[in-house]
Copies of this chain bind each other. A is one copy, B any other.
């Protein structure tokens, strides 16, 4: 139902109560959401009880139901908060006059940084929503589809400009791009891939290079990526990246 009360990440509720000193009194609703992220990430949505969330938040059981209509709504809220921020970011990137590679790099960077800064939240989103076709995946199909379509639009424009070849449908290219990123996150979540500041930075470059340039020795593709029009990024960071 009305799950998207807070479309932005950790938005400070307007007119929040404050203590005498002026410091914001801890927002219990936020407390519950943050606790839920930890509990969902640790035990999984289905395996955890609502009381686990309340305990983790240091709050009475009933309060969860004061702020949320159901356990589902807690997850829905978490997902929409983050997903909408991502959609907004993709739209902003798309609107800028950047080369495709940089647009895609910006999107990859955003998602990877999201994981870097809040792995638990991204774990929950991917494991419990994005891939959980039955319950929540169906609910948020529209939002998920929008992301694919925005990325597909970026690819399509690149094709129209002659930067990408036409043989691969933009819709498909979008799936390859997003699928690669999500698989990366999954690898980190499952502990199948090493994690660390260096790996995260390198991954941003790898995603773009793989999807744009391919695994084979490329002529232009590889050369083009070596420069980087904005010049602002050094991909292969200091030496031993293996």
> Would A220 and B216 count as touching, CB distance under 8 A?
yes
Q: Which of B133, B163, B182 contacts A179 (CB 8 A)?
A: B182
A44-B135, A179-B180 given; A216·B209 CB < 8 A: no
Q: Which of B132, B169, B187 contacts A127 (CB 8 A)?
A: B132
A184 at the interface (CB under 8 A from B): yes
A61 at the interface (CB under 8 A from B): no
> Would B214 and A210 count as touching, CB distance under 8 A?
yes
A114 at the interface (CB under 8 A from B): no
Interface hits, A162-185 → B, CB 8 Å: 163-165, 167-169, 171-173, 175-176, 178-184
Minimal Cβ-Cβ distance residue in B for A209: B168
A87 at the interface (CB under 8 A from B): no
A3-41 interface code vs B (CB 8 A; 1 in, 0 out): 000000000000000000000000000000000000000
A103 at the interface (CB under 8 A from B): no
A214-B218, A216-B218, A217-B165 given; A131·B131 CB < 8 A: yes
A155-B215, A217-B165 given; A192·B135 CB < 8 A: no
A180-218 interface code vs B (CB 8 A; 1 in, 0 out): 111110110111110000000001001101111111111
Which residues on the B side are within 8 Å of A214 (C-beta)? 210-216, 218, 221
Which residues on the B side are within 8 Å of A207 (C-beta)? 176
Which residues on the B side are within 8 Å of A175 (C-beta)? 180, 183-184, 187, 193
Q: How far is the CA of A180 from the CA of B210 in the complex (A)?
A: 11
Minimal Cβ-Cβ distance residue in B for A181: B179
Number of copies: 2
Which residues on the B side are within 8 Å of A133 (C-beta)? 44, 123, 127, 186, 189-190
A141 at the interface (CB under 8 A from B): yes
Q: How far is the CA of A123 from the CA of B137 in the complex (A)?
A: 13
A220-242 interface code vs B (CB 8 A; 1 in, 0 out): 11101000000000001000011
Which residues on the B side are within 8 Å of A236 (C-beta)? 167
A46 at the interface (CB under 8 A from B): yes
A-B interface, 10 closest residue pairs, ranked by CB to CB distance from nearest: A179-B183, A214-B214, A44-B134, A131-B131, A219-B219, A216-B221, A179-B179, A176-B180, A213-B214, A175-B183
